[in-house]
Every structure is written in C-alpha cells, then in structure tokens.
C-alpha cells in the first residue's frame, strides 16, 4: 500500500488564485512522489469573517442552523477551485463537502464535535488514483443538518481524516513556519519549536495559540495521529507534535501564549448559600458556553452576599447572559460584563518540578505595571487575566523574562534567577 498523507492548507495559504495554484502544485508534487493525498482546505483569506459579518447585517442573532449553512460554503469554494487547478496539472481530483466525506457530528451548531468519520468514499476515490479535496471545518449532524466545527476547525477535519484513513502524517500548512515560543506577530524574535509534546500543545492551544485548534490536538493525541505544522511558503521542516516521551528537549518554559477575546461576567451580590455556583455553571454548560476562570469572593460577614466572576469567550457574552438571566432574576442579582479582557499564559512541562515560576510571572507583570485581574494554573501552565490592551506588553515581558528568544531558552537544570 502506498503511503497516505493528509495535507491541510489554512485560509492565508489559499487566499487568492496564485496561492491556490501554489497549493495545488504542492499537492501534485506529493502525489507524484508516489504518496496518496487527501487535502483539507480552509475558506480563502478572511472569507469566514466576511460571512459572519454578512449574517450579522441581516440578523442580530442569526439562527445557528442557517449560520452553518452559510459558513460551510467558504471551504467548499476553496476545494472546488483547487480541484480545477489540480485537473489542469494533469491529475484527477475530486472535491467533497464534509458531509460527502462522511464526517458525522453532534447537533451543536457552530461548534459541533465529530462523532464518527465514514471514510469509504474517500478510500474509494484514493483507490481510483484521485487526489481527494475535503472542505474543512464542517460535517453533517446526526439530524442530517450541515454543521461547522468552531473557528479554526479545519485543523480538526484534517486530523480526524488522518485517523480515519490511517495516514502516516497530518501536515498542517500555514502562514508561519511552525509553532513558536510566542505568536511571532507579537514577539518577532520568538523561537520556532522543532518538537512539542501533546501535553504542552494542548495547554498552548487552549490558552490562545490558534495555530492549531485545540480539538485537533485532542483528537490527534487520542487517536495517535502525528501532526507536522509547517509553512506553506517554503519546504523547511516546521514543528512536530509528538507523545511526551518522544520530545527531545525539556525547557523549563516552552511558550508564552495569549488571547484577547476574553470577557468577564460578574454576578453581583449572590446569596451566600450552597448550590448557587452549581446552578450558574450548569446553566452555562447547558447553553454550551465554556467558562475559563472563576473567582468567588467571600462575603464580609455571615448572611452577606458575595460576588462571583468568571471569564467566557467574548463572542459568547449574549448566550451567557441569556443562560443566567432566569437565575439572576430569581436571586435578585445584578449581572455586569466587561468585554475587554485578555489573558497571558506561560506553558512548560519543566515547571512541574520547579518552584518559583509563578513568582517570576507575577513579579514581571508587576514591574511592567500590568494589573492581574484573575489567575488560574495547571501543573504545566500559569494564566493571568489582564486588561485587553496590555496583552502584547505582557507577552513580550514574559517572553523576555524567561529567556525564550533564539538560542538562550532556559533549561530546568539551570537556575534562572532570584526565584529558583
């Protein structure tokens, strides 16, 4: 059996006719090496953003089912165009929607989860020597409606297909050279990481490194798919995501990540009685809103009321408000929102066994007059919610404080200053 590879091209990599033709040539070159190719494409350039804007122009609260009908068109356009370009290069290509490719999801519109991949049609097309192009970011629900997989979801399509057809590797071609020690758009001297573990990549993706969608990393870890994230503009190797024991180096801190799309929701004057946090979080979970950090301050004295704050993705504010409105009304609680929050995180497997990292993070932010509003940690991550407009400064300060640029990144066996 010839080798099979999944190649995924992101929006910037197929943004115009020239780039689409370049992707087509790259796919064909791989095929001519004797490899079977399934290519997953994103919508061109800012197409998804434009479709969302178009929906908002006609409706303040677009119906989620219709939203998915709309959003799924972007990737379909890219695939049909690319198939035409590949045909002109003398190869047989067939484009498929997510539904035609057998991607079955749950019914949670605009952030559906893949339940199953029925890849028979892809296998048949590969056996007939076709190059198969699959529209990323979409599937068909168990209720037979078109669904989409959440922003950045084409990464997950690619990984799920790689798992289903037993591809040797899932290559994610994008507009940067791989996964870096920080977003290279914010930290120009960030370091490309040749190898990163699933454990660290999961923390990075979940704290804002959108270069790989979180679910794609989860899926790859659960199904043993090897990801190679690399540039679509040249042929140099990028970043390979591998199981923990295969990573070559173990720096103390691997990366600084950030997100600017955070909002804080505060319930003011919540009665200090058991069960309320449970009710609020259940209502949000039922509405499919992901809560990130939660803080509840203690009432000053018994019988008093407390404040409860949590962060949610900014786009989820209306849904979150709707979900908690009945509870807030019943308890006579005021709900306030602050949509301008950001988050900066440091991730590194080395911090598990190394005290003093948190102190260095907080001191660095303090020295830069950056106020920390909320904090959360995992064994290999420390995250701070900070004012949205200070996020770039916070990222640069932490990246420099932990010596992550170029070759001078710190190893756990080396002391790193007054807090080690």
Applying CB under 6 A, among 26, 36, 91, 151 the residue interacting with ligand ASP is 151
Q: What is the DSSP letter of 350?
A: G
Alpha carbon distances (Å) from 300 to 110, 164, 280, 307, 342: 42, 56, 22, 11, 29
191 with 177: CB under 8 angstroms? no
Which residue blocks in 239-356 are alpha helix, DSSP H? Answer: 276-286, 317-331
Residue 180 binds which of Mg ion, ligand ASP, ligand ADP, none (CB < 5-8 A, kind-dependent): ligand ADP
* Contact flag: residue 209 with ligand ADP (CB under 6 A): yes
Instruction: Work out how close the CB of 9 gets to Mg ion at its nearest, in angstroms, rounded to a whole number.
Output: 10
Rounded Cα distance between 375 and 394, Å, is 14
* Burial track 61-73 (b if 16+ CB lie within 10 A, e otherwise): ebebbebbebbbb
Q: In this complex, which beta carbon is closest to ligand ASP, that of residue 98 or of residue 388?
A: 98
Q: In this complex, which beta carbon is closest to ligand ADP, that of residue 13 or of residue 309?
A: 13
350-353 long-range contacts, CB within 8 A, separation 24+: 350/250, 350/251, 350/252, 350/253, 350/254, 350/411, 350/412, 351/252, 351/253, 351/379, 351/380, 351/382, 352/379, 352/380, 353/412
Instruction: Work out how close the CB of 50 gets to ligand ASP at its nearest, in angstroms, rounded to a whole number.
Output: 10
Phi and psi torsions of 224, nearest 5°: 65, 40
Residue 153 binds which of ligand ASP, ligand ADP, Mg ion, none (CB < 5-8 A, kind-dependent): ligand ASP
- R_g of the chain, CA atoms, integer Å: 23
Q: What is the DSSP letter of 166?
A: T
Q: Which residue is nearest to Mg ion (CB)?
A: 152
Applying CB under 6 A, among 152, 208, 251, 348 the residue interacting with ligand ASP is 152
Rounded Cα distance between 366 and 384, Å, is 12
Applying CB under 6 A, among 7, 19, 74, 159 the residue interacting with ligand ASP is 74
Which region among 174-182, 266-274, 341-349, 387-395 touches ligand ADP (by CB under 6 A)? 174-182
Applying CB under 6 A, among 137, 180, 219, 402 the residue interacting with ligand ASP is 137
* Contact flag: residue 175 with ligand ADP (CB under 6 A): yes
Q: In this complex, which beta carbon is closest to ligand ASP, that of residue 31 or of residue 151?
A: 151
Which region among 153-161, 196-204, 310-318, 382-390 touches ligand ASP (by CB under 6 A)? 153-161
Instruction: List interacting residues with Mg ion (CB under 5 A).
Output: 10, 152
Q: In this complex, which beta carbon is closest to Mg ion, that of residue 10 or of residue 412?
A: 10
Measured between its terminal Cα atoms, the distance across the chain in Å is 53
Which H or E element spans position 386?
A: strand 381-387
Residue 255 binds which of ligand ASP, Mg ion, ligand ADP, none (CB < 5-8 A, kind-dependent): ligand ADP
Applying CB under 6 A, among 139, 153, 238, 388 the residue interacting with ligand ASP is 153
- Strand 114-117 and strand 334-347: the pairing is unpaired
Which region among 62-70, 152-160, 183-191, 396-404 touches ligand ASP (by CB under 6 A)? 152-160
Residue 310 binds which of ligand ADP, Mg ion, ligand ASP, none (CB < 5-8 A, kind-dependent): none
Distance between alpha carbon 379 and the CA centroid of its chain, in Å? 20
Applying CB under 6 A, among 4, 12, 13, 48 the residue interacting with ligand ASP is 48
Which residue blocks in 128-231 are alpha helix, DSSP H? Answer: 154-165, 198-206, 214-223
Phi and psi torsions of 375, nearest 5°: -135, 140
* Contact flag: residue 255 with ligand ADP (CB under 6 A): yes
Residues 34-53 that bind ligand ADP (CB under 6 A): 42
DSSP reduced 3-state for 229:
strand
Which region among 88-96, 158-166, 175-183, 288-296 touches ligand ADP (by CB under 6 A)? 175-183
Q: In this complex, which beta carbon is closest to Mg ion, that of residue 111 or of residue 396?
A: 111
Distance between alpha carbon 306 and the CA centroid of its chain, in Å? 34
Instruction: Work out how close the CB of 14 gets to ligand ADP at its nearest, in angstroms, rounded to a whole number.
Output: 9
Judged by CB under 6 A, the number of residues near ligand ADP is 19
Judged by CB under 6 A, the number of residues near ligand ASP is 13
Ramachandran quadrant class, 67 (left: phi over 0; alpha: psi -120 to 50; beta: rest): alpha
Binding footprint of ligand ADP on the chain (CB under 6 A): 10-13, 42, 152, 174-176, 179-180, 182-185, 209-211, 255
Binding footprint of ligand ASP on the chain (CB under 6 A): 10-11, 42-43, 48, 74, 136-137, 151-155
């Amino acid at each position: 059996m010839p080798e099979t590879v999944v190649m995924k091209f992101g929006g910037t990599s197929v943004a115009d006719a020239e780039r689409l033709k370049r992707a087509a040539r790259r796919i064909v070159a791989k095929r001519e090496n004797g490899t079977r190719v399934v290519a997953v494409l994103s919508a061109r350039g800012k197409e998804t953003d434009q479709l969302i804007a178009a929906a908002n122009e006609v409706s303040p609260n677009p119906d989620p089912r219709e939203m998915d009908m709309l959003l799924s068109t972007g990737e379909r356009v890219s695939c049909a165009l690319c198939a035409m370009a590949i045909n002109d290069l003398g190869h047989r290509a067939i484009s498929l929607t997510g539904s035609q490719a057998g991607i079955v999801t749950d019914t949670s519109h605009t952030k559906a989860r893949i339940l199953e991949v029925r890849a028979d049609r892809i296998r048949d097309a590969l056996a007939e020597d076709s190059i198969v192009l699959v529209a990323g970011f979409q599937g068909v629900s168990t209720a037979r409606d078109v669904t989409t997989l959440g922003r950045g979801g084409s990464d997950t399509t690619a990984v799920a297909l790689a798992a289903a057809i037993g591809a040797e590797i899932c290559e994610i071609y994008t507009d940067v050279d791989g996964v870096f020690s920080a977003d290279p758009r914010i930290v120009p001297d960030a370091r490309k990481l040749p190898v990163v573990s699933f454990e660290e990549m999961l923390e990075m993706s979940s704290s804002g490194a959108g270069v790989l969608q979180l679910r794609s990393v989860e899926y790859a870890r659960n199904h043993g798919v090897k990801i190679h994230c690399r540039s679509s503009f040249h042929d140099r190797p990028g970043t390979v995501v591998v199981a923990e024991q295969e990573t070559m180096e173990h720096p103390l801190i691997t990366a600084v990540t950030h997100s600017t799309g955070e909002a804080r929701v505060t319930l003011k004057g919540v009665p200090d009685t058991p069960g309320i946090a449970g009710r609020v979080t259940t209502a949000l979970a039922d509405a499919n809103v992901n809560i990130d950090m939660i803080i509840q301050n203690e009432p000053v004295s018994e019988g008093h009321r407390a404040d409860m704050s949590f962060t949610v993705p900014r786009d989820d504010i209306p849904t979150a408000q709707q979900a908690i409105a009945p509870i807030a009304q019943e308890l006579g609680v005021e709900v306030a929102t602050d949509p301008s929050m950001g988050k900066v995180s440091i991730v590194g497997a080395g911090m598990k066994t190394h005290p003093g990292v948190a102190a260095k993070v907080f001191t660095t932010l303090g020295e830069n007059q950056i106020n920390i509003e909320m904090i959360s940690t995992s064994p290999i991550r420390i995250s701070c919610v900070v004012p949205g407009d200070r996020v770039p400064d916070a990222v640069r300060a932490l990246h420099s404080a932990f010596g992550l640029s170029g070759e001078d990144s710190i190893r756990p066996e080396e002391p790193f200053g007054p807090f080690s």
